Amino acid sequence: MGIVRSTNESSLTGFTLLGFSDYPQLQKTLFIIILILYLLTILGNTTIILISRLESKLHTPMYYFLSHLSFLDLCFTSSVIPQLLVNLRDSMKAISYGGCIVQLYVSLALGSTECILLTVMSYDRYIAVCRPLHYTVFMHTRLCKILASMAWLSGVTASLVQSTLTLQLPFCGHHQVDHFICEIPVLIKLACTDTTFNEVELFVVSVLFLVVPVSFILVSYGYIAQTVLRIKSTTGRQKAFGTCSSHLLVVIIFYGTILFIYLQPSKSKYKDQGKFVSLFYTVVTPMLNPLIYTLRNKDFKGALKKILGNILCIKLT
């Protein structure tokens, strides 16, 4: 009966997201920094989506997948950051049980989808560098839509399974989550029952969505590196490397932080640093992605200048 009462209490009272309450002197500074980064994230990713749709020259598989990535980052940050900003200014730092459920399902679905989407993008880069003459044959519109749909479907499915299993656990005690987001590893810690099955399931899914995709990406870039090294001209090498460097940098940043959170032992001495690492991939990485993909991309910068020029001309006339 005690377990049932604890579960019902959690559904009524919700949770307390402690976040960065251990560092009260940092909360005002964090609020300002995170708010600025969030606004930059919205601006950067929205710009990529709009320019990719408005400029016909960017109607390519690369920008098709990049638009999906930007949309993912917009939704992912919007599922986390508004609540985080509220809690940084609110001494109660509360989140309702329903709000926690929504955040858990949505953020996990989007994060899992991004893992698969980045893998799909590595396949696109492999074809572009290693099979350039057959690129349009392999990466046709129908295949791109299928690959994008598979990424979304797998992410949503993983979220439904993992989140549902986690929410079936009886949560007991004070319902204080030592994090700024309702995430599976921290919710499992609140359970007042044996969580061995959930921990094993979390590890298995983490391998499927982290280790396997990373392995596929490494193999793809292994073939890409071999192809680039066979190019005799320096200009040709630089061009081939330029088509992949942005994606590779995004992969390193994204997977590096995610692997730190999900694949370390539960009693690791670095567990207390998890919230700061999570802050990086939930706030900083979505803001960096547009910059990484556009700063060195002549096509995108040219399309942006063209569209802004057209808008300016319309206003002047």
Q: What is the CATH number of the domain that holds 291?
A: 1.20.1070.10
CA 138, CA 194: separation in Å to the nearest integer? Answer: 48
Question: Which residues of the chain fall below pLDDT 50?
Answer: 1-12
Task: Classify residue 54 as left (phi > 0), alpha (psi -120 to 50) or beta.
Answer: alpha
CA-closest candidate to residue 165, choices 190, 186, 195, 192: 195
What integer pLDDT is reported at residue 10 of this predicted model?
45
Domain annotation covers residue 313: no
Domain annotation covers residue 9: yes
Domain annotation covers residue 312: no
Domain annotation covers residue 317: no
Other beta carbons within 10 angstroms of residue 17's beta carbon come to: 28
Domain annotation covers residue 172: yes
What integer pLDDT is reported at residue 180 of this predicted model?
86
Domain annotation covers residue 298: yes
Q: Which domain holds residue 130?
A: 2-307
- Exposed, middle or buried by CB within 10 Å (0-12, 13-18, 19+), for 141? exposed
What integer pLDDT is reported at residue 36 of this predicted model?
95
Cα–chain-centroid distance for residue 192?
30
What integer pLDDT is reported at residue 13 of this predicted model?
67
Domain annotation covers residue 314: no
What integer pLDDT is reported at residue 77 of this predicted model?
93
| 159 Cβ contact list (under 8 Å, min separation 6) | 105, 106, 108, 109, 112
Domain annotation covers residue 316: no
What integer pLDDT is reported at residue 150 of this predicted model?
96
Report how many domains make up the chain. 1
What integer pLDDT is reported at residue 162 of this predicted model?
92
